[in-house]
Amino acid sequence: MSTDLTKEPEVIALFTDEADGTDEISRILADGEGPFRLESILSWGQASPQGFWYDQEEDEWVALLSGRATLVVERRGREETVTLEAGQALYLPAHCRHRIESTTAVPPCRWLALHGHIYLK
């Protein structure tokens, strides 16, 4: 791991006010080696398209900061509904198929998603 002494502390906005309430907004906040990616997501009532499943190469840890979301997660070959409230997080190991069933529009769902090789403590 290298240290870049030319870097300076920087404040960044987790979410932007560009949203018009129709399209989900996803923004990469940081990425790095390993692989590693930190993403902010703003949802306004969106859901996964019918029949669509996420099946990602990397682990994902997603925290819901505001709103309420319902997901379907495949666990041991069976579909399980998971509801996240603001302040809760969900760990999804690589290749854990999942989909978003619903997200609240008011308040909007504000997510932070960490992708990479994740080791829970």
Beta pairing partners, 63: 89, 112
- Predicted pLDDT of residue 17: 63
Core vs surface per residue 34-70: b (16+ CB within 10 A) or e: eeebbbbbbbbebbeeeeeeeeeebbbbbebbebebe
- Predicted pLDDT of residue 14: 86
Q: Does domain 25-116 have CATH number 3.40.50.300?
A: no
**pTM score > 0.85 for this model?**
yes
Domain boundaries, the chain: 25-116
- Predicted pLDDT of residue 2: 55
- Predicted pLDDT of residue 89: 98
Could you say which residues of the chain have pLDDT below 50? none
- Predicted pLDDT of residue 3: 65
- Predicted pLDDT of residue 85: 98
Q: Are residues 36 and 116 in contact, defined by beta-carbon separation less than 8 angstroms?
A: yes
- Predicted pLDDT of residue 21: 65
- Predicted pLDDT of residue 30: 93
